[in-house]
Amino acid sequence: MRKLTRPILFVLACLVYAGCSSTKSLKPGQILYTGADIIINPDSSGKIDDEKQVKADLKSKTRPRPNNKLKLAIYNFAGEPKKPKGLRNWIRKKGEPPVLLSEVKLKYNNDVLTSYLLSEGYLQAAVTGDTVVKDKKGKAIYTAVTGERYKINKVTFPPDSGVLTRIINANKDKSLLKVGDFYDLDVYKNERVRIDNDLKENGYFYFSPDYLIMQVDSTIGKNLVNVTVKVKDIAPDAGLKPYTIKNINIYPNYSLRRDSTLRQLKPLQYHDFNIYDDRNTFKPRLFDRLVFFQKGEVYNRKDHNQSLNRMVNVGAFQDVRAEFLPLDSFKNNQLDLNIYLTPLKKNSLSFSVTGTSKSNNFVGSEVKVTQTTRNLFRGAEQLDLSVSGGFETQTRGTSLGRNSLSLTAEGKLTFPRFIVPFYKPNSTTAFIPKTIASLSYQMLNRGSEYTLHAFKGEFGYNFKENQYKEHNLNPISVSYISTGFPSTKTRDSLYEVNPLLRTTLENQFIIGSNYNFTYTNQMETNRRNNTFFYGAIETGGNLWGTFVPKDAEGKRSIFNVPLSQFVRLEADLRDYYKITRNLTWANRLNVGYGYAYGNSTSLPFVRQFFAGGSNDIRAFPARTLGPGTYKVPDDAIFADQGGDIKLMLNSELRFKLVSILYGALFVDAGNVWLRKEDTGIPGTTNNGRPGSEFKLKNALSELAVGTGAGLRVDATIFVIRLDVAFPVRKPYLAEGQRWVFDDIAFGNKDWRRQNLIFNIGIGYPF
């Protein structure tokens, strides 16, 4: 470590020295430009509203931008290279040459800043610029005299003289121009776009926002303006009349090479569509769900956008193009719609090698091969068949070096429509509803201990209500987990060492339904505050369980395996608040509750909640926390501790360090509990888990708390994360002794070994 530290400190010292002598490389007469200062109304005692923000906006519009200090330091540190190639040349290119004061064009910046103030309603604004030089460094100073900001006094729309102006007036109550608001050029531009959208919805295909003019009269006094909305006299006739759809021509197997051949074909007439496809690539009824236009219909932008979105989202085409052509000439008010669709390849094979890091402390690698077949039944269906195999080894826990082999096979068939018996739902949103049927098998071999077989089948639906809301419903979900042992002796010896394995490895049959809902506005990157919500409900053995017969003990069972009966609820709420451009405060609340009944006394192990790990409470190893105040024995073969109830809170401050390197400071808190105390099995070595029961009055006092810091390499397409965390509150200690701030000792080797937890992950924790 010491050998590595010295060169790093040397490089940092060189950078600091170079930064301090940022003007050293300047030639005689050159002045380093250090940036711009903005002064607003220096001779006025009054201040404008949001003066700080206006200054920041004005400063951001000045050019050129001053040097990034670090990049300038790197440039100066490298010096003048003697060769066109080499280390010095490479380092210098990573830097940035000095920006000179001579590059500043004051008149240009004066005009830009004045124009911006005028657009914000300061109609009497004027900006003057000057420069100040000291010790080979210079800056620009811009003085803005704004005057009073003007407000809207009255808005007048064009008189009702025809269909077009009637549409404009019919929606004027939705106008963005409000009496009493400040004059704002951007609002005027957006108002033109709003009117254009209204007209596009009523057939005015060739209308443009540029055909509207906002006349502003600022001579009425009292810093007020009257705004008159008019259609320009020079607007072309084509833009002033509505258009209807004449012919809808679809080319489902289009390519430039076959263009002339396809156009000469006799089309298949299906409903309102003329389909040019001599290869019958797609069933005609597919286009009923993709194309929303009808013959004779007035053009509207909603149908236009929804049709394009559906054709793109169906996942069957690599290129989608819609062309609207006027019939004969612009004197006619009809359009032909030509839709050109280029299909994706029918078959594709993908191969991947990935690293795995699982919540049970196993890490390893996996090889996966996936075969994708598109348009399986000529209705844009997609079949994905995948086989994967991997090797894992346990890196943390009580039994290091335990290895496992896994083999997984999965088939998933996706239909781009709802398939519902005795009912044909009709969706008119821009997003394609999907019916998904899947079947999977997984084998997990833990060497000489046991082999686990898991079968799962699901049938359900995926539906995006809009870009923010997504629904997933699986009315049928069947899981069967079976465990095999080399011998009865091996099984009994495992149960003797750790009685909890009896619950973990018992055969399980789950037949139920599940539904989850997701809401997110994270795609709106310009928002200061973004939200994500995930809610899920799963039931097992209730509705479908009524069809399962009872065994001799009165329990419903299949193949002598009792049917699991439970209800499971989970909610995950996340909030991302941008404090500054490079500083974000992220928070998460995750709660879960499970209720077992009938055949079951607790949730099946595979449906329980767990705490600890790289995406959870990072100061505790995966699945080792809880339930409640219980602490898993240090000699336990299996550390997995599940619960029926979960509460978790995370708070993380994320900030940019340099380039794609980000840092984070975080605090995690939470735990899992059982609904009823685990009292063990009388007459055996299983003494249960004291303190595992959930009691509302004790919940907060039984929370584990950890804190730490992390680094993230965020390259947009992938994120690699390294976190280090340590506990500050241990719920398994006696009351009054659970906060362990006084025990923190980073310089103590034993403390670090027992408390520091390193987590490597792909992606952000939440």
Bridge-based pairing state of the strands 583-596 and 32-40? unpaired
Mean pLDDT along residues 266-292:
95
Contacts of 264 by beta carbon, 8 Å cutoff, 6+ apart:
none
Per the structure block, which two tokens stand in for 609?
């909640």
In whole angstroms, how large is the CA radius of gyration of the chain? 34
What would the pLDDT profile of 96-105 be if each residue is shown by its tens digit? 899 999 999 9
Cβ–Cβ under 8 Å, residues 399 and 435 = no
**563-574 tens-digit pLDDT:** 888 999 999 999
* pLDDT score for 68: 86
Tens digit of pLDDT for each residue in 162-190? 899 999 999 999 999 999 999 999 999 99
pLDDT confidence of residue 293: 95
Please name the residues in contact with 552: beta carbons below 8 A apart, sequence gap of 6 or more. none
Q: Are 625 and 364 in contact (CB under 8 A)?
A: no
Q: Is residue 683 part of a domain?
A: no
Is residue 329's pLDDT more than 70?
Answer: no
pLDDT at 594 over 90: yes
Tokens of 312: 């793109």
DSSP 8-state class, residue 671: E
In a domain, 626, yes or no: no
Q: Are residues 188 and 268 in the same domain?
A: no
**Is residue 477 assigned to a domain?**
no
Q: How many CB atoms lie within 10 A of CB 619?
A: 28
Structural domain harbouring 386:
345-446
Q: Per-residue confidence at 160, pLDDT binned at 50, 70, 90?
A: confident
Q: Do both 13 and 128 map to the same domain? A: yes
Choosing from 343, 367, 382, the residue where a domain stops is 343
Q: Are 498 and 685 in contact (CB under 8 A)?
A: no
CB atoms within 10 A of CB 406: 20
Asked if residue 322 lies in contact with residue 339, where contact means CB atoms within 8 angstroms, the answer is yes
Please give the helix or strand (H or E) that residue 266 lies within, else none.
none
Nearest to 600 by CA among 494, 506, 499: 506
In the chain, the number of structural domains is: 4
pLDDT for 361 beyond 60:
no
pLDDT at 602 over 80: no
Residue after which a domain boundary falls, among 343, 371, 404: 343
Instruction: Please tell me whether residues 110 and 15 are part of one structural domain.
Output: yes
Provide the pLDDT for residue 562: 79
The reply to whether 410 and 435 lie within a common domain is: yes
Nearest to 591 by CA among 619, 611, 566: 611
User: Is 747's pLDDT higher than 60?
Assistant: yes
Least confident of 140-149, 202-211, 387-396: 387-396
Nearest one of 754, 648, 747, 667 to 709, comparing CA atoms: 667
- Report the b/e string of 303-334 with b at 16+ CB within 10 A: bbebbbbbbebbebbeebeeeeebeeeeeebe
Note the pLDDT of residue 496.
Answer: 61
Q: Are residues 383 and 308 in the same domain?
A: no
Specify the pairing of strand 244-251 against strand 334-343.
parallel
Q: Is 222 helix (H, G, I), strand (E, B) or coil?
A: coil
* pLDDT tops 80 at residue 716: no
Q: Which residues contact 458 (CB under 8 A, 6 or more apart)?
A: 436, 437, 438, 474, 476, 477, 478
pLDDT of residue 116 exceeding 50, the answer is yes
Whether residue 336 is predicted with pLDDT greater than 70 in this model: the reply is yes
Query: Is residue 215 packed enough to be buried (19+ CB in 10 Å), middle (13-18) or exposed (0-12)?
Result: exposed
Higher per-residue confidence, 752 vs 640: 752
- Taking Cα atoms as reference points, which of 513, 519, 447 lies closest to residue 478? 513
CATH number at residue 325: 3.10.20.310
> Could you tell me how many residues make up the chain?
766
pLDDT digits (tens, 9 = 90+) for 664-682: 999 999 999 999 888 776 6
pLDDT at 400 over 60: no
Average predicted confidence (pLDDT) for the chain:
88
- Say if residue 111 is in the same domain as residue 7: yes
CA pair distance 340, 272, nearest whole angstrom: 16
Residue 64: pLDDT above 70?
yes
Domain annotation covers residue 541: no
Is the pLDDT at 684 greater than 90? The verdict is no
Contact 239, 206 (CB under 8 A): yes
Is residue 319 in some structural domain?
yes
Cα–Cα dist 526/529, whole Å: 9
Candidates 558, 627, 659, 656; CA nearest to 599 is: 558
226 and 167 share one domain? yes
pLDDT reading at 423 higher than 70: no
Confidence of residue 80 (pLDDT cuts 50, 70, 90): confident
The answer on 366 and 291 residing in a single domain is no
283, amino acid identity:
K
pLDDT value of residue 7: 44
Residues 320 and 441 in one domain: no
| Domain shared by 281 and 197, yes or no | no
Same domain, 189 and 249: no
**Cβ neighbours of residue 488 under 8 Å, at least 6 residues apart?**
none
Last residue of a domain, one of 223, 240, 257: 240
- Whether 461 maps to a domain, the answer reads no
Q: Which of 337-351, 541-555, 592-606 has the highest mean pLDDT?
A: 337-351
What pLDDT does residue 71 have? 84
CA dihedral 658, 661, 662, 668 (to 10 degrees): -150
Residues 6+ apart with CB under 8 A from 174: 194
Residue 1 binned pLDDT confidence (cut-offs 50, 70, 90): very low
Give a yes or no: residue 225 inside a domain. yes
Q: What is the pLDDT confidence band of residue 49, given thresholds at 50, 70 and 90? A: confident
Contacts 24+ apart (CB under 8 A), 160-169: 163/242, 164/199, 164/204, 164/207, 164/231, 164/240, 165/231, 167/198, 167/199, 167/202, 168/195, 168/198, 168/199, 168/229
579 and 614 in contact (C-beta within 8 Å)? no
Mean pLDDT for 41-63 is 88
Distance of CA 281 to the CA centre of its chain: 35
Instruction: Tell me the percentage of the chain whose pLDDT exceeds 90.
Output: 63
Inform me whether the pLDDT recorded for 10 exceeds 60. Answer: no
Structural domain contains residue 465: no
Average pLDDT value for residue range 538-547: 78
Report whether pLDDT(609) > 90: yes
pTM to 2 decimal places: 0.79
| 438 plus 367 within the same structural domain | yes
Among 91-105, 536-550, 673-687, the range of highest mean pLDDT: 91-105
Whether 330 has a pLDDT exceeding 70, the answer reads no
Burial 167-189 (b: 16+ CB within 10 A, else e): bbeebeeebbbeeeeebbeebbe
CA dist., res. 654 & res. 530, Å (int): 14
How far the first Cα of the chain sits from its last, in Å, is 32
Q: Give CA–CA dist 438/440, Å, rounded.
A: 7
What is the Cα–Cα distance from 290 to 543, expressed in whole angstroms? 36
Using an 8 Å Cβ cutoff, are 35 and 139 in contact? Answer: yes
509 pLDDT exceeds 80? yes
Amino acid at position 603, single letter: L
User: Does residue 150 contact residue 218 with C-beta atoms inside 8 Å?
Assistant: yes
